[in-house]
Structure formats: structure tokens, C-alpha cells
Homo-oligomer: A and B are copies of this chain.
Amino acid sequence: MRIPFEDMKSEFKRIFLKYGISEEKAEICARTHAETSRDGVYSHGANRIPRFINYVKKGWVDIKAEPTKEKEFGALAVYNGNFGIGVTNAFYCADRAMELAKKNGIGLVGLKNTTHWMRGGTYGLYAAKKGFTAICWTNTESNMPPWGGEKPKLGNNPFVMAAPANNGEPVLLDMAMSLYSYGKLQSTRLAGKKLPFPGGFDKEGKLTDEPEKIEESMRMLPIGYWKGSSFAFLLDVLVSILSDGASTQDMDKIAKGSCGGCSQIFIMIDPLKISSQAYINEILNKAKAYIKTADGKEIRYPGEGMSNAFKENSSKGVLVDDTVWAEIKSL
């Protein structure tokens, strides 16, 4: 079904207020989840509301907690998220990194003891619209075996890069280190389909495109095989070092759900200190046009699919699964 954006946002806000979240934070979280669905990232928009509320009920997310500064040096700062709401913690630290970047050209904020930031791209887009270049990532609990191993001991550690806004058509990378998410395995299985490409190993160690076999083995495939495994490892150790925070294995012990106690990095760069928005727009437009000359019908620049979903969901109403919407209404 389709729900008008404002109605969806209002419904989310109603729920957040009901569970005791402050007016200000309820507004931010409702807008973020609704925008995430509107941009076509359904898995982290409407679909995540029930789980988020469940975490609040369990005390895994402390809705009263505020981020507190632990360290600051030059263009670096470290914050403690105190297990507060992941979305508002992340916006706070993105803002702080942009403040540092305004002053120093670049700023890095490490955030520890935070909770799920939902869609990582949110903070890339947020920065891009303000004219910043963003490089952000989070670690997660173990959900992917390292290359050569059988048991999940690495997070899929989503990584975000955003270019400064280009006339409202953002250029955004938001990718996990696993080729597919468990959500994608589930939805593919429920649709009775196979994955477009092998997405993991079965219990016998053979690559497979059958989602149920990967759900059974928990042997998700890293992007680029050994490469994504190494990238995930580096993202975890760097975020632990630079936020003074929990690593993937620490989170496995914390065991407060998806991304409970995770660590995040927000690197923001103010390119207008060394360039101009007109020149940046020229670079982006040229790059977009160039890849379209590669002779394919389906060539899209990173962020184009999101822009297409934005347009359709804005005009027709935001797509949401019937059962998800029913669950949300019942909260």
C-alpha cells in the first residue's frame, strides 16, 4: 500500500511520543524513518519501527540519554552516545563534525556506545545538502564470516560517502560489506526467488544463490570476497581506535540487539574552503554524463535510484508493506 509522506511521518511521531520520546527527538526520528522509506530504503524506514520500539521497551535504547563529549583535540572529537537513540546521536555527531570542518576544513567525530543509526546514508545526505563531503561508517555485531572462515566474526559495517549536493540530486554511496543483507535474503526467499548473484556459502561450503541455504549457514559473502572481508576488518579496528568504542567482538558480548553499543565515525570536509560549488557541480555533472556513455540501458549514478524512488513515493504516496503498516498502526 501507499501512505502519503506526511501521514506516515505523523503516524511514526505518534508512536514515538507514546513511548515517551521527547517532542524534539520524536520529530527528528519520525522524519528520518519516513524519509528513508520515501527514498526507497524500506528496510530501514517503516520496517524498522517495530524493532526500534521493542528495543526501547527492553531498555536497549535509552530514550532519555544525550551524547556527552569525552575528548577533543583540534579537528578531532570523541563522544559517548550513552546508548541513546542512534538517529539523534548520529545527527548530533554529524553536526559536530561539520562545525569542526567549518573551522579546520575537515573534522572527525568518533561516537561510541551508540545504537542503530538506521540508514547510514541519512547522515551523508544531511551533510551533502549543507555542502559538505561526508565519509562515515559504523560497525555492527558479527554477521559475516571473515574470508576463509565459517562462523560470523566480522560485522558488515556499513560505509557511506557523499558528495556535496548538486542541485538537489545527491551523489551517495551507502553500502554494507556483505553483498546482501539478511533482509534481502528473507524477502527473496518469501518471494520464492533466487538471488541475482551467489550471496554466500551453503553448509557444505559451496557458493549459492538460494537465500534459505545462506540463512541456514549464516555464511554471507563479503563484497569482492577477500576484499570486503579485509575492508570490514579495517573499518572495525579504525572505528574502535578513533571512537575509543566497542569493536564487533565487544558488541557480541554486549548483546543488545542489532548495533547495540556500536561505534561510528563521521568525517566531514568543507570543500568550499578549497573549491566552489559551481566547480563541484560541473565535476558531478560531467561524471554522471560520462558513465552513461558506457553503452548500457541500466547505468545509474550512485543516488539515482534513490532520486527515482523519491519522485515516485512523493507523488503517489510512500510504499509500505501491508503487514508492516498494520503492525505500526497497532503500536
User: Do B233 and A280 have beta carbons less than 8 Å apart?
Assistant: no
Give which listed residue, B73, B164, B247, B273, contacts A74 with CB less than 8 A: B273
User: Do B78 and A274 have beta carbons less than 8 Å apart?
Assistant: yes
With contacts A106-B74, A267-B267 known, is A161 near B290, CB below 8 A?
no
Chain copies in the assembled complex? 2
How far does the Cβ of A127 sit from chain B's closest Cβ, in whole Å?
A: 12
Q: Which residues of B contact A297 (CB under 8 A)?
A: 148
Query: What sequence of 0s and 1s flags, for each residue 102-134 of chain A, a beta carbon within 8 Å of any chain B beta carbon?
Result: 011111101000000000000000000000010
Does A242 sit within 8 A of B, measured CB to CB?
Answer: yes
Interface segment, A4-12, A17-25, A298-306, A317-325?
A298-306
Does A237 sit within 8 A of B, measured CB to CB?
Answer: yes
Give which listed residue, B150, B279, B302, contacts A295 with CB less than 8 A: B150
Question: How far, in angstroms, from A163 to B71 measured CA to CA in the complex?
Answer: 20
User: Do B300 and A148 have beta carbons less than 8 Å apart?
Assistant: yes
User: Do B154 and A249 have beta carbons less than 8 Å apart?
Assistant: no
With contacts A74-B106, A179-B227, A241-B280 known, is A150 near B234, CB below 8 A?
no
Give which listed residue, B148, B175, B247, B299, contacts A296 with CB less than 8 A: B148
Question: How far, in angstroms, from A175 to B249 measured CA to CA in the complex?
Answer: 24
How far does the Cβ of A17 sit from chain B's closest Cβ, in whole Å?
A: 37
Q: Which residues of B contact A247 (CB under 8 A)?
A: 283, 286-287
Q: Which residues of B contact A197 (CB under 8 A)?
A: 225
Q: Which residues of B contact A173 (CB under 8 A)?
A: 230-231, 233-234
With contacts A233-B287, A234-B161 known, is A74 near B105, CB below 8 A?
yes
Please, how many residues of chain A have a CB less than 8 angstroms from a CB on the other chain?
78
Question: How far, in angstroms, from A73 to B269 measured CA to CA in the complex?
Answer: 11
A residues with CB within 8 A of B = 71, 73-76, 78, 103-108, 110, 133, 135, 145-154, 161-164, 171, 173, 175, 179, 197, 223-225, 227-228, 230-231, 233-238, 240-242, 244, 247-249, 267, 269, 271, 273-275, 279-280, 283-284, 286-287, 290-291, 293-302
Name 13 interchain pairs, CB-CB below 8 A, sorted by A: A76-B105, A76-B269, A76-B273, A108-B269, A133-B241, A150-B296, A161-B234, A175-B227, A223-B225, A233-B287, A233-B291, A240-B283, A242-B271
The 6 closest A-B pairs by CB, nearest first: A223-B224, A149-B294, A76-B105, A148-B298, A149-B296, A230-B302
Extra inter-chain contacts (4) besides given A197-B225, A237-B287, A267-B267, CB under 8 Å: A74-B75, A105-B108, A164-B241, A241-B275
